[in-house]
Amino acid sequence: MTEYRHIGKVRRRQDGRAIVTGKAVYCDDIKFKNAYVAKVLHSPYPHAEIVSIDTSAAEALSGVKGVMTYKNAPAWKTGVPAHRPVMDQHLRFTGDPVAAVAAVSAQIAEEALELIKVEYKVLTPVFDVEDAIKPGAPEVYRKEDNIESKGFHYENNCLPPGSWFEGNDPPFYKIQEGDVAKGFAESDVVVEGKVSYTWTFPGAPESPFIAAGWDDETHVSVWASSQGPNMVARPLAATIGAHINVTTPNVGGSYGNKDALGYTAMLIVALAKTAGCTVKYAMTKEEHLLVYERRLNNKFMGKIGITKDGMMRALQGDWLVGTGAGSELTQGQVAEGLGELHLALNKTPNWDITAKVVVSNMIPVGIARGFGGQELKACALHLLNRALKQIDMDPVTFFKKNFCQAGDQYYWRTGHKYSNPVINYDKCFDVAAEKFGWHEKWKGWGVPTRMEGSKAYGVGFSIHSSGDPQSDETFAYVRLENDQVMVHCVVSQFGNGQRLALAKTAAEILNVPLENVTLNESDTRTDPADFGAAGSRETITAGGAVGRAAMAAKEKLLEEAAAKLGCKAKELDTKDLVVFKKDDPSVSLPWMAICPMYYSITGQGMVEGDFNHNNCVMNFVEVEVDLETGLAKIVNALSGSDVGQIISPIELKMQFEGGLGSAGMDTGQLEEFVLDTNIGRIVTHNLIDYKWRPFNELPNFETSVLESRFPTANPFGAIGIGEITGAAGPAAVLMAIENAIGGAEINEYPATPDKILKVLGKA
């Protein structure tokens, strides 16, 4: 294996010193000139109509610059397909914005909110996905809202399914192939059931932030706490018919969840327009929990057939996807979720699974890591356990047989099939299982690994794979000026270590110390287009584009040096900012002589996206369940993958560990929103009541990482895994819990003490 100078080596993050000294700048640390503070009045009811609203006293309050309600808000809509207006007379969830105020200070804005008089007509809400699709259920959107897309009509609270961003492809929301009736007939074991996965809070410590100001009629400047600035800029620009420039300083955590910020950005850009000023909106943590985009909830009702030797024969089911009062990209999650199930159970010949995207009077759904597949697989694969129990086959053995291998085809988000000819994760199963001690710990279905007093231990396993790691076009350029390498790519700092990886990539290719590389701040004004961080894609896409841009810059540098040295470029190489002749290094030129003071050499790089590179993460867990209290804890976890080539070892390890939190693995036993159905409001709307993992509750955590050098567009053969490190976690945790407690079945996530005691007959 090639020895690299930077790649695979431990390097300090370039922004590390700023982070540990408190100097790193996050959105709310910026002083925006002449900016007014935005505050929002939220609906107190889950479903209501505004009978009357009087904002005159608020408008008259000194220091108030503008008040926006449904009466004066621009007629824009966000979501897929466009459905959620800036503001509406019809209020669809507890927290739905009723009015927004821009004022000179937060205090005055809050005072103004209190002066707004609203008379509401309370309507009957609907929360549960199954209730919402019944005929006669309360209508979250109505005929007059005119939601229609590509021939699909909104009815019975079902939004048009499928993703809409794939050109002329029909929406992808179902897999129907083969003959499931025949598949079930050929099966030795057929199981049926319903499993539901709860709604959760990805939970970035920094609450969502948007500041916006209109530079002129057609240009808007936006500052966003976003992992994907172009996801903020492009869809909204298309909606409102103006050009949007987005700057993203440091982002205080995202986990996929602070990406497009679609509705929030639209609301604040609208307020900036109606109030005629720059406004900044820093959500409070309570708002973040109460009204901001959360992870989808879902139910899977299905039927699975397998043979005695552990081969999938048929899968049939309805996937009810709860998107609350709105969908930012839920249809994309449906498409990718189906693809992820298809990757995991790839050897299934007969499929009939259909998704419904269901609206209700709950908080709208946004983007979150795991993106559909985590949620669907948590349910469908849990149902599968019932079948594996009957044939007495352990899940590692089963998935190794049924998981997508090199050359197999899998569905991805367009509804077409893709395939990678090379990447195989077979070896990963064995190496990771060995390191975890799976075969010693696995005692059979419903059999605890061991008992210690009232504590029962059990193990579980699951797997996740995504077709996104090389998705979508990506552009970058690299400038060489004097002794500096300047990298332009629109990659935000939100914790995944990607900016370090990109700096290393440029430094490696140009063979310079890391200190000579500067990454431009993530800004759509100065960085070329890219869809942004999502689906673990930047390792390949941004890495590939930056790598190619660095190579192109290097070529030009060598050509210009060759002209000066009177030789051919191919006779030259560069190291530590000096170009030299390969066969006679004494013939050399420093970069300063090639690109002196005011001279610039620019290389461009591009990666064309495809879906033919699937990544994979396996989660092994051991849980401890206190049979007296019902409390389940993860005590051991191991995450395994083959990442092609390690770029940054510590950051990679931390990405795996990060799969525990941010509504990942811990949604198996710990995390959930609790809804008070009487008032339609969640009661876990602060960081005391919403449960999260603290420092004194850490499981032993290990990783098992192979490096196979995959033929990806990453210059070093790497593939990204960051998004999916916890995605298979909840299924593994619930499996482990059932094994620990002797096989009693739990079909609702998370397995909190009340549910465990109930199935044990103790509550």
Query: What is the contact surface with another protein in residues (CB under 8 A)?
Result: 10, 12-13, 15-17, 19-26, 28-29, 202-207, 250-255, 282, 284-286, 493-497, 650-651, 653-654, 657-662, 686-688, 692-698, 701
Shortest CB 537 distance to another protein, Å:
18
Among 81, 193, 253, 339, binds ligand FES (CB under 6 A): 253
The option from ligand FES, another protein, none interacting with 650 (CB < 5 to 8 A, set by class) reads another protein
Shortest CB 658 distance to ligand FES, Å:
9
Best CA proximity match to 403, nearest among 344, 318, 327, 472: 344
Shortest CB 269 distance to another protein, Å:
23
Shortest CB 147 distance to another protein, Å:
34
Shortest CB 290 distance to another protein, Å:
13
* 349 prior amide bond cis, ω within 30: no
Please report the DSSP string for 639-707 in residue order.
EEEE-SS-S-HHHHHHHHHHTSSTTSGGGGTT----EETTTTEES--STTTS----GGGPPEEEEEEE-
Question: Does 95 contact ligand FES by CB under 6 A?
Answer: no
The option from ligand FES, another protein, none interacting with 493 (CB < 5 to 8 A, set by class) reads another protein
The option from another protein, ligand FES, none interacting with 496 (CB < 5 to 8 A, set by class) reads another protein
The option from ligand FES, another protein, none interacting with 194 (CB < 5 to 8 A, set by class) reads none
29/473 with CB nearer another protein: 29
Shortest CB 205 distance to ligand FES, Å:
5
398/656 with CB nearer another protein: 656
Site for ligand FES in 340-379 (CB under 6 A): none
Site for ligand FES in 114-143 (CB under 6 A): none
Shortest CB 19 distance to ligand FES, Å:
9
257/385 with CB nearer another protein: 257
Question: How large is the greatest C-alpha to C-alpha distance in the chain, in angstroms?
Answer: 87
The option from ligand FES, another protein, none interacting with 239 (CB < 5 to 8 A, set by class) reads none
Shortest CB 492 distance to another protein, Å:
10
Q: Which residues are CB-neighbours of 203 under 8 A, at least 6 positions away?
A: 253, 255, 257, 661, 662, 663, 690, 692
Give the pair of three-digit tokens for residue 473. Answer: 């076009």
301/687 with CB nearer ligand FES: 687
Please report the DSSP string for 176-216 in residue order.
EES-HHHHHHH-SEEEEEEEEE-------SSPPEEEEEEEE
435/691 with CB nearer ligand FES: 691
The option from ligand FES, another protein, none interacting with 10 (CB < 5 to 8 A, set by class) reads another protein
The option from another protein, ligand FES, none interacting with 657 (CB < 5 to 8 A, set by class) reads another protein
Give the pair of three-digit tokens for residue 461. Answer: 């396993």
281/710 with CB nearer another protein: 281
In whole angstroms, give the CA distance from residue 751 to residue 758.
Answer: 10
How many residues interact with ligand FES (rule CB under 6 A)? 3
249/495 with CB nearer ligand FES: 495
Which contiguous run of DSSP H or E holds residue 719?
none
The option from ligand FES, another protein, none interacting with 26 (CB < 5 to 8 A, set by class) reads another protein
Best CA proximity match to 114, nearest among 133, 130, 101: 101
19/422 with CB nearer another protein: 19
The option from another protein, ligand FES, none interacting with 136 (CB < 5 to 8 A, set by class) reads none
Orientation of helix 541-565 relative to helix 498-510, angle to 10°: 20
The option from ligand FES, another protein, none interacting with 693 (CB < 5 to 8 A, set by class) reads another protein
With beta carbons less than 8 A apart as the criterion, state whether 407 and 614 touch.
no
The option from ligand FES, another protein, none interacting with 462 (CB < 5 to 8 A, set by class) reads none
Question: Does 205 contact ligand FES by CB under 6 A?
Answer: yes
Among 162, 310, 366, 495, binds ligand FES (CB under 6 A): 495
Shortest CB 325 distance to another protein, Å:
25
Shortest CB 297 distance to ligand FES, Å:
24
Shortest CB 206 distance to another protein, Å:
5
90/258 with CB nearer ligand FES: 258
The option from another protein, ligand FES, none interacting with 81 (CB < 5 to 8 A, set by class) reads none
In whole angstroms, give the CA distance from residue 667 to residue 421.
Answer: 34
H and E: helices and strands count for the chain? 19, 36
With beta carbons less than 8 A apart as the criterion, state whether 372 and 340 touch.
yes
With beta carbons less than 8 A apart as the criterion, state whether 42 and 33 touch.
no
205/407 with CB nearer ligand FES: 205
With beta carbons less than 8 A apart as the criterion, state whether 466 and 336 touch.
yes
Which contiguous run of DSSP H or E holds residue 736?
helix 729-740
In whole angstroms, give the CA distance from residue 520 to residue 501.
Answer: 14
224/601 with CB nearer another protein: 224
In whole angstroms, give the CA distance from residue 242 to residue 690.
Answer: 39
Give the pair of three-digit tokens for residue 340. Answer: 């992820």
Shortest CB 31 distance to another protein, Å:
8
With beta carbons less than 8 A apart as the criterion, state whether 440 and 571 touch.
no
E-state strands within 527-616: 572-575, 578-581, 584-590, 601-607
Shortest CB 729 distance to another protein, Å:
12
Q: Using alpha carbons, list the distances in angstroms from residue 657 to 112, 536, 666, 684.
A: 44, 15, 12, 25
In whole angstroms, give the CA distance from residue 385 to residue 700.
Answer: 25
DSSP letter for 723, please. G
DSSP letter for 521, please. P
Helices (H), 392-539: 395-402, 426-436, 438-441, 498-510
Q: Using alpha carbons, list the distances in angstroms from residue 308 to 183, 193, 427, 462, 743.
A: 14, 20, 24, 20, 20
Shortest CB 300 distance to ligand FES, Å:
32
Best CA proximity match to 460, nearest among 277, 638, 204: 638
Question: Does 659 contact ligand FES by CB under 6 A?
Answer: no
Give the pair of three-digit tokens for residue 460. Answer: 């579980």
Shortest CB 536 distance to ligand FES, Å:
18
301/654 with CB nearer ligand FES: 654
285/417 with CB nearer ligand FES: 285
Give the pair of three-digit tokens for residue 406. Answer: 């090199």
Shortest CB 661 distance to ligand FES, Å:
8
Shortest CB 520 distance to another protein, Å:
19
The option from ligand FES, another protein, none interacting with 443 (CB < 5 to 8 A, set by class) reads none
11/479 with CB nearer ligand FES: 11
18/431 with CB nearer another protein: 18
201/591 with CB nearer ligand FES: 201
Query: Whats the size of the chain, residue-wise?
Result: 763
Which contiguous run of DSSP H or E holds residue 53?
strand 48-54
Interface with ligand FES (CB under 6 A): 205, 253, 495
